[in-house]
Amino acid sequence: MQGREGLVPEHESGIQTNTESSTECSSEAETIKLFEEVKNRLLDVNRWHDLAGAASATFQLTNEKGDPVERSAKTGDHFRIDIPGPGTITGEGDDWVRIEKVESSHDLAAILVRPATNPKNERKDIAHFFSEASTSSFIVKRDGNKITAAVYGRNEKPNTNTEKVTDKIRNAAIAAGAISGLSKLQWKSLVNGLVKKH
């Protein structure tokens, strides 16, 4: 379930990951109703932690200036991500991504993000453990009576191009953990939560 053109960039180098979860509904009416809920869950980034569970990262949706907002995600927004463990100096304790694209229709919704600078300070370093070449695509899709949620990671490489030596060490360590499967556990919890029937 790769979604539509441009929502999942081509993989060129580093690591790629595909994490999916699906649920089947008993009727078209049930599918349509549940899919509207699933779309709303995807676009409500601030509730992702509730969906993924206590051991997961915390996500705060912000506007382009880094100020917290309580609304659906849109292009140009940022996520401020608080992952378990030490944060970066550049990110003021958090990892940051920028939303490059948001799409929503009757059978698909998607958010494409890329590691970004911290919009709350003047530093130009990418404030994330992965490099700027990395992307994550969060997609939910309806196909018949089946609803699927997925996270596709592409071109994932450690971000060691940063001024702060402590950030380089931290990013390499966190990225190694993510590459070894920790981010897959995080995303599996999220996609399961997105498609869960309540």
pLDDT at 52: 93
Whole-number Å distance between alpha carbons of 39 and 6: 19
CB atoms within 10 A of CB 76: 12
Name which of 7, 5, 41 is nearest 21 in CA terms: 41
Residue 111 lies in a domain: yes
Per-residue pLDDT of the chain (198 residues; tens, 9 = 90+): 554 568 999 999 998 999 999 999 999 999 999 999 999 999 999 999 999 998 888 999 999 999 999 999 999 999 999 887 666 667 777 889 999 999 999 999 999 999 999 998 887 888 887 889 999 999 999 999 999 999 999 998 888 776 666 667 666 777 676 655 567 788 999 999 999 997
Range of the domain at 121: 15-195
| Single-letter code of the amino acid located at 51 | L
Residue 68 lies in a domain: yes
Query: Is there a contact between 163 and 72 (Cβ–Cβ < 8 Å)?
Result: no
CB atoms within 10 A of CB 6: 12
Residue 95 lies in a domain: yes
Residue 159 lies in a domain: yes
pLDDT at 182: 60
Instruction: Record the pTM.
Output: 0.89
pLDDT at 1: 52
Cα dihedral 184, 190, 196, 198 in deg (nearest 10)? 150
Q: 31-70: string of b/e by CB count within 10 Å (b at 16+)?
A: beebbeebbebbbbbbebbebbeeebbebbbbeeebeeee
Cα dihedral 7, 8, 10, 15 in deg (nearest 10)? 150
* Residue 130, domain CATH: 3.30.530.20
pLDDT at 161: 74
Residue 164 lies in a domain: yes
Count of domains forming the chain = 1
Residue 9 lies in a domain: no
Residue 2 lies in a domain: no
